[in-house]
Structure 1
Amino acid sequence: MLRRARTEERQRALAVELAGPPFPQPLRHLWSLFSEIAEGLDAGGFGPATVTWQSLDAWSRLTGVTLDPREAVALVRLGAVRAEVMDRSKG
């Protein structure tokens, strides 16, 4: 996308737009957990894989990581958002 921009000014504008806001540091721990879980998700065949309660439970048992209930809810919700974004990017 940046390479196709015709002017340097447009390239700079696109770079700023694509950079997005800074990562919220208080969420770093949760994002790290989510990234690890997402690597092991099993694709369902009809759409992007999501973090399910079953996959979260299996990951927790295998890794020995005990999640706070609020963390678990957040991870499942992040999985749903991830799947929605991936699905939109295909269409």
Structure 2
Amino acid sequence: MARATGEIPKALVCPHELPAPLAHVWEWFCQLAGARSAGAFSLAPISYQDIDAWARLTGHRPTPAEVGLLRQLDDVFRDEIQRK
């Protein structure tokens, strides 16, 4: 986000370091976000199909809760990009 906009959105700023149990979700999000397709007027959201294909290709098995976190991170990311 900082590279794309020059700022880190408040919604992504943690008062503490990223908890170790969640670090893998952030890494997964970075992988998925780097491979996303472009939308008509902005970034396309990371879809369930994208997550499914990524999981099959990488061998990762995200839980439903982790998939929800990935989608939430993507929502915040895209909202911040659109505000800029």
Give the TM-score, by structure 2 length.
0.72
Q: Which runs of 5+ in 1 are unaligned?
A: 1-18
Residue 88 (structure 1) aligns with: 83
Residues 1:54 and 1:20: Cα distance change in structure 2 (over 3 Å)? closer
- Structure 2 distance, partners of 1:62, 1:45, is 26
**Structure 1 residues 9-88: aligned runs within 5 Å:** 21-26=15-20, 27-88=22-83
Residues 1:77 and 1:64: Cα distance change in structure 2 (over 3 Å)? same
Aligned residues: 71
Q: Which runs of 5+ in 2 are unaligned?
A: 1-12
Higher relative contact order (CA 8 A, sep 6+): 2
Residue deviations 1:20-69 (CA, integer Å, cap 9, x gap): 74432232121111111111101112112221111111111111111111
Q: CA RMSD in A?
A: 1.8
Matched-pair identity in %: 34
